[in-house]
Amino acid sequence: MLQNMIEETPIKVSKAIVQKVKESASNNQMISLRGYGKDDLGTFRTFGVSKKTDGSYVLADYTRGKGIETYDAKYTDLATDFRNYPGSLASHTASTFQDPKAVSAHYLATKVYDFYKEKYQRNSFDNKGQKVTSIVHAWDSTETSDPKNWHNAASIGEGMLVYGDPMVKAYDVAGHEFTHAITSNESRLEYYGESGAINEALSDIFGTAIEKYVNNGTFNWEIGEQTGTTLRSMKDPTTVASPYGIPYPDDYRKFNDLNGEDKAGVHFNSSIINKVAYLIAAGGTHNGVQINGIGENKMFDIFYYANTDELNATSNFAELRVACIRVATQKYGKQSTEVQAVIRAFDAVHISAQKENPQEKGSNQD
């Protein structure tokens, strides 16, 4: 994993860990209550908790699906001691919790669940109510020697959302990671090359949707900015330097597989699709192509249903274009302004309906 990337991780989750989560506190006698606490941004939150028979309170909300639980990894090293994840359920002696990072993770997990339930009638990431597990105070020693400064987050296994301390406060990061779990249950996009870049872009797109939902309609087109560092910009990808020393691309002609690094550029090239999503929603002129935007809500719908109904594990950028046009046509009609917005946005970044080699179009020149 690379710092400041936020990702779907290739870490393999053992059956023992999966079983540990499934046999968690939900099997014990608990009372569902309201909990309280300040999150990592200093905002006072209200959320679902449970009271155990011993009188303690845990960050476990069993009123949503099969549960939303938040664990404390206590800086256990992912690299050397992953078998001890997810850790223990975050707990306190009273219903007002004192760990702001645990409060952030728990509150945001419930809000992400609610967003997908309200907007798409989706019951958790698998649409079957599967338990959502957030893990705070995570650490990977291969990326930093400071356990409290792991600038990363990841989606692991069956709905396990893992956060380094600096990342947990960001609304869009929570949405990003949860959406990886949805993609793993829907299109199952392979996490490599163009399909992996689409996977990452879908998570950025719905990270933005979650930011809007949690923040009462207020959002921007940046990813992770609440952590103190903008990880990517959907509006102007090239304004953000990637970890590879070059700006993120806003055009398919700038596609770069990074010689296999970053799973052949899944984070890097996701910005090309992010730019498409921005143009569909907000409109504008890019590479001389004028797009009349249709608003972010319609854009979110188009990409959601492309993921659930049209894409498959090996879909590439050209196939994503076809998928989005098909969804827009089905929802709004062949001659609609929505279809035209999709077509022109893909045109603007030079993604055609036919698979092309970006190397032949002048990219990767350095």
So which residues are the catalytic ones? Answer: 177, 267
Please report the beta strands in 108-230, taking only residues with DSSP state E, as ranges in sequence order: 132-136, 153-156, 160-163, 222-223
Question: Sign of torsion, CA 290 287 322 298?
Answer: negative
- Burial (CB count <10 Å: 0-12, 13-18, 19+), residue 302: buried
Q: Give the alpha-carbon dihedral of 166, 169, 170, 174, to 10 degrees.
A: 100
Which residue, among 209, 48, 265, 176, has the nearest Cα to 163 in the 3D structure?
Answer: 176
What backbone phi and psi angles, to 5 degrees, belong to 211? Answer: -60, -45
With residues binned 3-state (H G I as helix, E B as strand, rest as coil), the percentages for the chain, rounded to 5, are 45, 15, 40
Residue 19: partners with Cβ closer than 8 Å, 6 or more residues away: none
Which residue, among 280, 223, 229, 272, has the nearest Cα to 247 in the 3D structure?
Answer: 272
Span between the terminal Cα atoms of the chain, in Å: 25
Cα–Cα distance list, 63 to 129, 241, 242 (Å): 11, 42, 40
Cβ 138 vs Cβ 150: under 8 Å: yes
